């Protein structure tokens, strides 16, 4: 056959296809003006050498600000509704078992989870807007330089961003990374990106032990810690398990467009629904189990009045030695155990164990002396790091096509959690905190 | 010379694309074929480069811009 | 039931148009064996129900990227009645590349010329009829966000589905020097009746020349593999 195609068939065929297109367009297309006018203007700013990264960070800050300020009234409302429903159930239901189940199990437990629907959906709305408008690709561009140093490339950055909302859609978003090693690293470190489900725990603990004034800073430091750990682990994985250079970064930057409401909302829904699915299944089921264990044996606990005699307390006391060195008690042990299933459960668990409403959990934590600022900080770090929820582990297994990698994620995260929390406690004590 | 050496605002024509088969094929498919005109819009080494090619904009990582061999269009 | 696959480059408004056609009646699953999301939906046009499958957004149809392979396998194996190729009207040069690949696959292509509002806004002039004639496929201008053109698109898609067997197939020439080797390999491929019955022989020939991993594997299994590979030499 012809010499022509011997070495460069792909090249010649691609060239000829573009030639054919040029011939067709010659007689059918007259180019206009101004396609890139707006894009050039925006890119001048967003891709600016010095300003690109600060602008991106400002955007990120704005996203969080938007999310939390806009969703707060809704959160308060949902919390109130569930508190009221719980009270109503206790009053109206004659059977004490049933009343306890409905009020303590369903309304307290589920309510503590559903209050996080507004911020999570708002966060996804903001992220979808960034993505659909074309900005996310720019963020990948400005962050590529940093990501490259970490052994990843700009594309890995988008899943990280989505991870702030929920690790599940974030891990699914790694599909756009075509290099298998890059994708694996991105998946393995994604659970360290602090998802929306962990926020309630930070809000609870930080609010309780650091007070409203410092809570915000402490919470932000948790997000930062997560990112730093993700970076460190990405480097470690790149140097050990997935040696090599990151695959080349090629990404088309589309012209900016004004996103349409319908598409953005559908986009938000596709991601946010994971939270609802989990709330309705795993979280709900777990909360029911915790409630059951906390009010039985019924006689001994006097229908949940004396939780110290319940099954869950026995379980907690059994596990307590593991967490004792960190200064945490049996309730923390129980909360962490059930937090394996979903992080939001930690708050719900405290709600049930302390037998108080949403709003009063924090105050009880302090008045009972369960956490000091030091042990509280270590607890938050532990929550951040140890095992993402069961659903995320499931997605890791599915996306890596291997249960081994899912198991690996669990093991390395638990080990890392013990190390980091241990360091916090150790250093803190050396500095004279208790 | 490699595309990486060009600065912002410069134009060039592609001479050759080097690298692994998957990458080369991908770049061809995206229109990076020889004698195609490329304009450098942003370049902030060691970060990625933004180029205009075939009326679209493509970000190229550092690893790639050294593999795309070009000729400055003014012949230098 | 008529099945329509939707394909296009990334960032051309594909998801928007898919949503526009199917409304909220969507089902999300996974492609068999891989973990790439598969979205399907349905719409009804004049009493007939049409199934819409959203293929991954890609620039090309090589065997090297998971997304591209999924799209391509769907088209060659499942043979959807119509393939709607969504083309960004403001970026025809890049977008028509995929169109040519689809024509090579002998898909029953209908082009949705999207972002038509921006095309007009920017003073770009596209001679739609001529474009349609040169490519040999219907071209429908659309504006996904407003739904402009969606009804016409549905109508054209139905018509294309009905006229699938009698459609005019245009062969995009690669130039004589390249067509000769393609022809030689194609003749060799045609000797394997089962292979060339399953896949378009010309496409197989082009892919063999491009050393496409998946097609080479198919050839490997063919009783005529020696002849085909000799034709390449």
Q: Say whether A47 and B42 touch across the interface (CB within 8 A).
A: yes
Chain B: touching chains (3 or more CB pairs < 8 Å): A, C
Per residue in A77-130, pLDDT (tens digit) is 887 888 788 888 878 887 877 887 887 777 876 776 677 788 778 888 888 888
pTM over 0.90: no
User: Rounded to whole angstroms, how far apart are CA atoms A338 and A326?
Assistant: 18
- Please check whether residue A184 lies inside any domain of the structure: yes
Q: Do C126 and C34 share a structural domain?
A: yes
Instruction: Reduce the DSSP state of residue A4 to 3 states and report it.
Output: helix
Q: Do C17 and C91 share a structural domain?
A: yes
Quote the pLDDT of residue C156.
95
Model confidence at A139: pLDDT above 50: yes
Quote the pLDDT of residue C102.
95
- Tell me the Cα Rg of chain B: 11
Mention every residue, 6+ apart, whose C-beta is less than 8 A from residue B49. B3, B4, B40, B42, B43, B59, B60, B62, B65
Q: What's the CA angle centered on A6, arms A2 and A10, to 5 degrees?
A: 110
User: Rounded to whole angstroms, how far apart are CA atoms A152 and B22?
Assistant: 18
Q: What's the CA angle centered on A287, arms A286 and A293, to 5 degrees?
A: 90
Q: What is the mean pLDDT of residues C27-49?
A: 75
Model confidence at C35: pLDDT above 60: no
- Please check whether residue C171 lies inside any domain of the structure: no
Q: Which of C113, C132, C166 is the last residue of a domain?
A: C166
Structure tokens at C65: 């990227």
Structure tokens at C186: 């194609």
Q: Which domain holds residue A426?
A: 52-248+262-430
Q: Do C210 and C144 share a structural domain?
A: no
Structure tokens at A275: 């939270």
Instruction: Output C68 or A116, whichever has higher pLDDT.
Output: C68
Structure tokens at C153: 């698109």
Q: Which domain holds residue C43?
A: 2-166
The answer to whether C86 and C8 are in contact (CB under 8 A) is yes
Helix (H) or strand (E) holding A251: strand A250-252
Q: What is the mean pLDDT of residues C1-23?
A: 88
Q: Do C18 and C103 share a structural domain?
A: yes
Separation of CA A235 from chain center: 21
Quote the pLDDT of residue A3.
58
Structure tokens at C110: 């209908």
Q: Do C211 and C139 share a structural domain?
A: no
User: Rounded to whole angstroms, how far apart are CA atoms A102 and A116?
Assistant: 20
Between the two ends of chain C, the Cα-to-Cα distance in Å is 44
- Please check whether residue C101 lies inside any domain of the structure: yes
Q: Do C214 and C159 share a structural domain?
A: no
Quote the pLDDT of residue A357.
64
Instruction: Reduce the DSSP state of residue A178 to 3 states and report it.
Output: coil
Quote the pLDDT of residue A381.
93
As a whole number of angstroms, the longest Cα–Cα distance in chain C is 56
Per residue in A200-222, pLDDT (tens digit) is 888 888 888 887 778 778 888 89
Q: What is the mean pLDDT of residues B14-34?
A: 89
Q: Which of C148, C166, C184 is the last residue of a domain?
A: C166
Q: Say whether C92 and A29 touch across the interface (CB within 8 A).
A: yes
Instruction: Reduce the DSSP state of residue B72 to 3 states and report it.
Output: strand
Model confidence at B68: pLDDT above 90: yes
Segment of A47-51, A177-181, A395-399, C140-144 carrying the highest mean pLDDT: C140-144
In terms of Cα–Cα distance, which of C54, C69, C63, C65 is closest to C8? C54
Q: How big is chain B, counted in residues?
A: 76
Is the minimum CB–CB distance between B55 and chain C shorter than 8 Å? yes
In terms of Cα–Cα distance, which of B50, B68, B47, B55 is closest to B10? B50
Closest Cβ opposite residue A35 in set C90, C184, C206: C90
Q: What is the 3-state secondary structure (H, E, C) of C155-220?
A: HHHHHHHHCHHHCCCCCCCCCHHHHHHHHHHHHHHHCCHHHHHHCCHHHHHHHHHCCCHHHHHHHH
Minimal C-alpha gap between A1 and chain C (Å):
6
In terms of Cα–Cα distance, which of B53, B47, B46, B49 is closest to B3? B49
Instruction: Reduce the DSSP state of residue B49 to 3 states and report it.
Output: strand
Per residue in A151-165, pLDDT (tens digit) is 777 778 888 888 887
Quote the pLDDT of residue A114.
77
Per residue in A372-421, pLDDT (tens digit) is 888 889 999 999 999 887 778 888 888 888 889 999 999 999 999 999 99
Q: Do C132 and C215 share a structural domain?
A: no
Q: Indicate the pLDDT class of residue C87, thresholds 50, 70 and 90.
A: very high
- Please check whether residue C228 lies inside any domain of the structure: yes
Per residue in C102-153, pLDDT (tens digit) is 999 999 999 999 999 989 988 899 999 999 999 999 999 999 888 899 999 9
Quote the number of domains for chain A.
1
Q: What is the CATH number of the domain that holds B63?
A: 2.30.30.90
Quote the pLDDT of residue C157.
94
- Please check whether residue A410 lies inside any domain of the structure: yes
Quote the pLDDT of residue A1.
45
Q: What percent of chain C has pLDDT over 90?
A: 49
Q: Which of C166, C196, C215 is the last residue of a domain?
A: C166
In terms of Cα–Cα distance, which of A71, A110, A120, A76 is closest to A273? A120
- Please check whether residue A74 lies inside any domain of the structure: yes
Chain C: touching chains (3 or more CB pairs < 8 Å): A, B
Quote the number of domains for chain C.
2
- Please check whether residue C107 lies inside any domain of the structure: yes
Instruction: Output A432 or A379, whichever has higher pLDDT.
Output: A379
| DSSP-assigned states of every residue in C114-155 | E-HHHHHHTT-EE-HHHHHHHHTS-EEE-BTTTTBTHHHHHH
Residues of C with CB below 8 A from A262's CB? Answer: 16, 19, 145
- Please check whether residue A3 lies inside any domain of the structure: no
User: Rounded to whole angstroms, how far apart are CA atoms A365 and A205?
Assistant: 8
Mean pLDDT of chain A: 82
Q: Do C93 and C10 share a structural domain?
A: yes
The answer to whether C54 and C38 are in contact (CB under 8 A) is yes
Q: What is the mean pLDDT of residues A184-203?
A: 87
Minimal C-alpha gap between C60 and chain B (Å):
6
Closest chain C residue to B55, measured at CA: C91
Q: What is the CATH number of the domain that holds C223?
A: 1.10.287.1770
Phi, psi of B69 (to 5 degrees): -95, 130
Mention every residue, 6+ apart, whose C-beta is less than 8 A from residue C110. C82, C83, C84, C85, C137, C138, C139, C140, C153, C156, C157, C160
Q: Do C126 and C51 share a structural domain?
A: yes
- Please check whether residue A90 lies inside any domain of the structure: yes
Residue with tokens 């229908």: A303
DSSP label of A305: T
Q: Do C110 and C29 share a structural domain?
A: yes
Q: What percent of chain A has pLDDT over 70?
A: 93
Minimal C-alpha gap between C225 and chain A (Å):
16
Quote the pLDDT of residue A339.
84
Q: Which domain holds residue B34?
A: 3-72
- Please check whether residue A45 lies inside any domain of the structure: no
Interface test with B, best of A141, A142, A154 (most B CBs within 10 A): A141
Q: What is the CATH number of the domain that holds C27?
A: 3.40.50.300
Residues of A with CB below 8 A from B42's CB? Answer: 43, 47
Closest Cβ opposite residue C131 in set A16, A24, A178: A24
Q: Do C116 and C153 share a structural domain?
A: yes
């Amino acid at each position: 056959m012809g010499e022509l195609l011997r070495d460069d068939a792909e090249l010649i065929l691609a060239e000829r296809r573009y030639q054919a297109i040029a011939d067709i367009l010659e007689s059918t297309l007259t180019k206009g003006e101004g396609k890139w006018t707006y894009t050039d203007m925006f890119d001048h700013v967003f891709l600016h050498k010095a300003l690109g990264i600060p602008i991106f960070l400002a955007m990120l800050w704005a996203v969080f600000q938007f999310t939390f300020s806009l969703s707060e009234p809704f959160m308060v409302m949902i919390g109130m509704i569930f508190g009221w429903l719980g009270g109503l159930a206790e009053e109206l239901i004659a059977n004490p078992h049933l009343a306890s189940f409905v009020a303590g199990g369903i309304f307290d437990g589920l309510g503590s989870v559903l209050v996080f629907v507004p911020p999570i959906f708002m966060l996804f709305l903001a992220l979808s807007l960034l993505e659909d408008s074309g900005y996310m690709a720019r963020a990948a561009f400005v962050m590529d330089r940093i990501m490259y140093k970490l052994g990843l490339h700009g594309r890995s950055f988008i899943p990280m961003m989505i991870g702030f909302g929920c690790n599940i859609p974030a891990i699914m978003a790694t599909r756009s990374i075509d290099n298998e090693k890059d994708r694996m690293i991105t998946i393995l470190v994604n659970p360290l990106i602090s998802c929306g489900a962990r926020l309630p725990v930070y809000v609870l603990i930080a609010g309780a032990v650091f007070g409203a004034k410092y809570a915000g800073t402490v919470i932000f430091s948790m997000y930062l810690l997560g990112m730093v750990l993700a970076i460190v682990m990405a480097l470690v994985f790149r140097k050990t398990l997935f040696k090599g250079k990151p695959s080349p970064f090629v990404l088309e930057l589309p012209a900016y467009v004004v996103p349409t409401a319908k598409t953005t909302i559908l986009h938000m829904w596709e991601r946010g629904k994971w939270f609802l699915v989990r709330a309705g299944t795993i979280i709900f089921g777990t909360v029911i189990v915790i409630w059951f264990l906390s009010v039985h044996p019924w006689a001994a606990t006097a229908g949940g009045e004396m939780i110290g005699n319940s099954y869950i307390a026995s379980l907690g006391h059994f596990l307590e030695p593991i967490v004792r060195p960190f200064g945490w008690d049996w309730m923390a042990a129980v909360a962490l155990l059930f937090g394996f299933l979903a992080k939001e459960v930690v708050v719900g668990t405290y709600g049930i164990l302390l037998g108080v409403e949403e709003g009063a959990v924090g105050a009880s934590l302090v008045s009972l002396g369960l956490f000091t600022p030091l042990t509280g900080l270590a607890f938050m770090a532990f929550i951040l790091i140890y095992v993402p929820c069961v659903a995320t582990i499931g997605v890791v297994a599915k996306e890596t096509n291997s249960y081994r990698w899912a198991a690996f994620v669990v093991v390395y995260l638990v080990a890392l959690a013990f190390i980091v929390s241990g360091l916090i406690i150790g250093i803190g004590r050396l500095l004279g905190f208790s | 010379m490699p595309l990486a050496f060009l600065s912002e605002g410069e134009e060039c024509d592609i001479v050759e694309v080097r690298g692994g088969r998957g990458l080369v094929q991908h770049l061809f498919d995206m229109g990076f074929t020889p004698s195609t005109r490329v304009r450098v819009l942003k370049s902030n080494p060691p970060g990625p480069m933004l180029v205009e090619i075939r009326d679209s904009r493509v970000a190229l990582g550092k690893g790639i811009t050294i593999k795309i061999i070009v000729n400055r269009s003014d012949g230098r | 039931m008529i099945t329509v696959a939707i394909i296009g480059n990334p960032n051309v408004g594909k998801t928007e148009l898919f949503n526009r056609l199917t409304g909220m009646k969507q089902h999300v699953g996974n492609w068999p064996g891989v973990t790439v999301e598969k979205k399907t939906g349905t719409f009804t046009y004049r009493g007939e129900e049409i199934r819409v499958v959203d293929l991954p957004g890609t620039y090309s149809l090589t065997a090297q990227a998971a997304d591209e392979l999924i799209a391509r396998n769907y088209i060659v194996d499942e043979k959807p009645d119509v393939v709607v190729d969504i083309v960004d009207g403001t970026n025809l040069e890049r977008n028509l590349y995929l169109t040519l690949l689809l024509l090579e696959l002998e898909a029953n292509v209908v082009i949705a010329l999207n972002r038509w509002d921006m095309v007009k806004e920017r003073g770009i002039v596209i001679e739609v009829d001529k474009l349609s004639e040169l490519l040999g496929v219907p071209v429908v201008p659309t504006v996904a966000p407003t739904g402009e053109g969606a009804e016409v698109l549905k109508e054209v898609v139905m018509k294309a589905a009905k006229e699938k067997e009698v459609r005019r197939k245009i062969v995009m020439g690669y130039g004589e020097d390249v067509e000769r080797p393609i022809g030689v390999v194609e003749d060799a491929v045609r000797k394997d009746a089962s292979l060339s019955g399953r896949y378009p022989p010309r496409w197989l020939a082009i892919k063999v020349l491009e050393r496409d991993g998946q097609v080479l594997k198919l050839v490997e299994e063919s009783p005529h593999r020696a002849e085909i590979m000799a034709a390449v030499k």
